[in-house]
Structure 1
């Protein structure tokens, strides 16, 4: 049985990817902050899921959790580094400083803690794969995106640099950069304001978390000699907005 580790499994991309991988006979090390949701996953999937209640921002907790994995779960061949969030949609100088730090601590530092803790185990495998969840925001700035866009630009560039570091190791690295997707993303961004979050997706046909899970299962099904460096995708109803010129 293959072993995968996924962060942010309590909802969205992480949850749907977990479901898809279980169907492919993976055992999943499932990391999330919400304990009750992890318990439900374990009740549903039994020993196919190994839950770990963890906030990826906690550096010591991340390394302790990986160090304490049962020996039979250390043969990790797939890492889906998914945990991330956006907070607020304000101009940078109006953005709450705590929200800025939370995005950086989660999307960059937590993302790196997980990769740094898990990669030494993956290097022992004959073949392995790191899949990072980025965003079109890495390349497409938008009003109020400031810090979030910057964090996803980091994910995109780090993914390329990591693949370079891992040359000769048979560890693949892929950055998946989705556009408009409906998950809990906007609810988190607007701090529980469901009406405001739903307005983001009104009159659109958005990407769903299941679509991302399908893409991940496709990527990992490819022959061992093929590495997908990056996939950028949008729903058909979304495209680029172009540049903006202020009237003076």
Structure 2
């Protein structure tokens, strides 16, 4: 039986990913920030689900995740770095460095912390995969083309996702020798709480596409940035 760890798994896309993988008979390790969220997940998924309460904005989360994994498994097949928050300020006069720092901390450093916590377990899998949930807004090529000019997307979110994409590239190059696949996914314009004005995709549909796509990838796919079953994304 395969296993997956999903961050930000108590709502939105993360919860839908949790549902898809649990329905696919995966052992799941949903990472959430509060005990209340963990308890709710445990009620909703009473078997094969081991919630982990950790704040990914803190280095303490590394040992917390390690400890929880050690109690329930010897290996891990998939890590999905999904946790994230949205930004708001899109004008240089109003953008706050505090907001930029907050988004970097979760989208980029949070993904680093989670991967550090899981790496020893991934190395024991036959087909280990690290999947970073990115965004079209992290594509430097698409951003530089002027496609999103005057769209009101925040400095902080675009910068954080671009940094996360660089982390994906660096990690993929390093872990190639360990046969660990590393990819980035743009899930689509999701109809979630922090939706864009052109949102058109149900998170449940996006999650199912991601689930099906992840099941098929291996080391030959490392380094991809994709919207599953729709298009390859330019970095």
- In the superposition, the TM-score normalised over structure 2's length comes to 0.84
**Alignment partners' CA distance in 2, 1:168 and 1:61:** 26
Task: Pick one of 208, 212, 215 that aligns with 1:214.
Answer: 208
Q: Deviations over 1:140-190 (max 9, x none)?
A: 44444222111111122221221111113221112002442111224xxxx
The structure 2 residue matched to 1:231, chosen from 216, 223, 226, is 226
Is 1:154 matched up with 2:163? yes
Distance 2:103 2:199 in 1: 27
Sort the Cα spacing of 1:89 and 1:232 in 2 relative to 1 into closer, same or farther, 3 A: farther
Q: Which residue of 1 aligns with 2:97?
A: 97
CA distances 1:7-48 after superposition (whole Å, capped 9, x unpaired): 000111110000000111111111111432321221121132
CA distance 1:208–1:89, change in 2 (3 Å): farther
Structure 1 unpaired stretches of 5+: 187-199, 236-248
| Structure 1 position 77 matched with structure 2 position 77 | yes
CA distance in 1, matches of 2:210, 2:125: 20
Report the Cα offset of residue 211 of structure 1.
Answer: 2.4
| 1-structure distance, mates of 2:39, 2:105 | 26
Unaligned runs of 5+ in 2: 231-235
* Structure index of larger Rg: 1
Query: CA 1:179–1:72 in structure 2 vs 1: closer, same or farther (change >3 Å)?
Result: closer
Give yes or no for contact 2:57–2:106 (8 Å, CA) kept in 1.
yes
Aligned pairs, number: 220
2:181 corresponds in structure 1 to: 172
Q: Is this contact kept in 1: 2:209–2:228, CA < 8 A?
A: no
Question: 1:67 Cα shift?
Answer: 3.1
What CA distance in whole angstroms lies between the structure 1 residues aligned with 2:60 and 2:92? 30
Q: 2:113 matched to 1:119?
A: no
CA distance in 2, matches of 1:59, 1:47: 29
**For residue 39 of structure 2, what is the aligned residue in structure 1?**
39
Would you say the 8 A contact 1:57–1:109 is kept in 2? yes
| Mean Cα deviation higher: 29-38 or 111-120 | 29-38
What CA distance in whole angstroms lies between the structure 2 residues aligned with 1:16 and 1:72? 23
The secondary structure found in structure 2 opposite 1:126 is: coil
What TM-score, normalized to structure 1? 0.80
Tell me, yes or no, if the aligned pair for 1:38 and 1:53 is still in contact at 8 Å: yes
